[in-house]
Structure 1
Amino acid sequence: MTDARVTPDPAIAKTSKAGQIGWADVDLLRHPNGPRDRQLLLGDAVTILGSRDDHIYVQAEKDGYVGYVPSDSLTEPTKVTHQITAAATHGYADASIKSHDLICLSFGGKVTALSDDQEFIETAQGFIPKQALSELPTKPQDPITTARLFLNTPYLWGGNTRAGIDCSGLIQTAMLSADIACPGDSDQQERLGHSVAHQDYQPGDLLFWKGHVALITSKNTMIHANAHHMRVVEEAIVPALTRIADTTGPVTAHKRL
């Protein structure tokens, strides 16, 4: 059985042209004006496969997901030079934090430098503080450190940004920052790595439930975006297991990458 999340619809896939996300972030939709499956970020590379109802059918380079984005969210590909490595940052109208903010960008977004000075990189999205950026290619980051950048981020189904993220979006973001290929949904992520004995917790392990995933941060704690707290939290593993079992069921897998 093919996976519709990553297998282009042959009835739609008519072209194959490179594109790039030009908005700060955009929902990747199951069909035009339909439900969000994931989100794409500024500078994300996509392959344009077709169009329908003022939407473009694309396949994301980072995870192979297919779906629809608004036509005006795409731009011609440019060579990106920097990545947002702060949890979030602003693009300003001028090279001053007192100038008008033009856009809010989330961790993982990629921009093209037009010029730079001691404090800012000038981009098409405005002047971005250098503290929020890393020059590409970035060095692999500790996935736990990346996940903690999103602490207290509101829970958002299908979200991939500091404004809102879900459990699998958090894991994907953390793993991609570590240069580990990672799909966008927890059932796909559960196929990663190898199984280890339950309760043999090590930082970087993943715990799975039906429709949920968490990242182990120590032998006693884990971090996850969840609908119980409606935000990203780092909490003790044992009481969380009991709570989640009451609503979702038992752990289905414990994986080490």
Structure 2
Amino acid sequence: MAPVFETPAPDARLATQALHGEILDIFAQDGAFGLARCRRDHYVGWVPMASLSQPVHAPTHKVRTLRTHAYSAPDLKSPPQTVLSLGAHVTASGTQGDYVQCEHAGWVHTRHLAPLGTMEPDPVTTAERYLHTPYLWGGRDSLGLDCTGLTQQAFEAAGVLLPRDSDMQLAWAGDEIVDWKVSGALKRGDILFWKGHAGIMTDTHHLLHANAWHMAVAREPLEDAITRIKTYYAEPVGARRIDIGKLAGRVPDWMAEPVA
């Protein structure tokens, strides 16, 4: 994982994270940092140049488990070289027994990988795998993630790429649910938005979200979440529904539009 900061300083606020195997375009350098655009979702920030490598390898597989070790040899007793989170991309360069050799990473167990084009059928099931993961502003991996990091990871696993921020997701994620305020109108997989926050419905009455109250990914009754967030912050502002069957594998419309 490479941190992408808001400014070129090691103590700057985290903007997002680029997982292993993602491609970043560098437009300028300031000391040890490069001004980068994540090619995956067009997000821009400053990344430590030491986190990057060349040449760019075409990925062949992705990590299918929440987290996995990449070992120094095709042996579970060998020391791990790094750890990879769900959705990280790797380039396979060989196999030995139950292990796949991955460029710039190490040897990963074959059951922890899936071909790059593999899609999960249900984004909610993916989101639930992050349950209890600590909250981290700007995070996208299994050691910590924020609300839209969770929604991004969940839907990307199902083949639908969302923008990084909640206002962008509210504008671009699937279709608006006009009657979302009506009791029972929301269903599994719908995304509910506040200004600056988002969560995924696991059923009509429960919300899963990475949030700063629990400081973790939590599942709770929707009305409890609405009441608490209203007390400390604000009320929801909208909801969106994504047709996985229609959008999976397609280049999203927002990728063709200027994204600030």
The TM tier, using the shorter chain, reads: 0.7 to 0.9
Contact 2:207/2:221 (<8 A) preserved: yes
Q: Kindly provide the amino acid, as one letter, of the partner of residue 177 in structure 2.
A: S
Q: Structure 2 CA distance, aligned partners of 1:223 and 1:215?
A: 5
Q: Give deviations 1:120-167, integer Å, cap 9, x for gaps.
A: 111231111112110122225421111111111100000000000000
Q: Kindly provide the amino acid, as one letter, of the partner of residue 25 in structure 2.
A: T
Residue of structure 2 aligned with 1:166, choices 146, 149, 171: 146
- TM-score of the superposition, structure 2-length normalised? 0.85
Q: CA RMSD in A?
A: 1.4
Matched, 1:94 2:76: no
Deviation at 1:117, TM superposition (A): 3.1
Deviation at 1:38, TM superposition (A): 0.6
Q: Structure 1 CA distance, aligned partners of 2:46 and 2:205?
A: 41
Q: Give the paired residue count.
A: 233
Residue of structure 1 aligned with 2:20, choices 37, 42, 47: 42
Deviation at 1:57, TM superposition (A): 1.4
Matches within 5 A, 1:1-257: 25-33=1-9, 34-75=12-53, 76-124=55-103, 125-191=105-171, 192=173, 193-197=175-179, 198=181, 199=183, 200-257=185-242
Q: Secondary structure at the match of 1:68?
A: strand
Q: Structure 2 CA distance, aligned partners of 1:99 and 1:181?
A: 36
Q: Structure 1 CA distance, aligned partners of 2:46 and 2:118?
A: 29
Q: Structure 2 CA distance, aligned partners of 1:204 and 1:131?
A: 27
Q: Kindly provide the amino acid, as one letter, of the partner of residue 44 in structure 2.
A: V
Contact 2:74/2:97 (<8 A) preserved: no
Identity %: 34
- TM-score of the superposition, structure 1-length normalised? 0.86
Contact 1:83/1:135 (<8 A) preserved: yes
Contact 2:207/2:222 (<8 A) preserved: yes
Contact 1:209/1:251 (<8 A) preserved: yes
Contact 1:209/1:248 (<8 A) preserved: no
Query: Residues 141 and 117 of structure 1: is their aligned pair in 2 closer, same or farther, counting only changes over 3 Å?
Result: farther
Q: Give deviations 1:101-133, integer Å, cap 9, x for gaps.
A: 221111111111121134111123111111211
Contact 2:205/2:222 (<8 A) preserved: yes
Deviation at 1:83, TM superposition (A): 0.4
Q: Structure 2 CA distance, aligned partners of 1:141 and 1:102?
A: 31
Unmatched segments (≥5 aa) in structure 2: 243-260
Q: Kindly provide the amino acid, as one letter, of the partner of residue 7 in structure 2.
A: H
Q: Secondary structure at the match of 1:173?
A: helix
Moved more, 131-140 or 66-75: 131-140
Q: Secondary structure at the match of 2:92?
A: coil
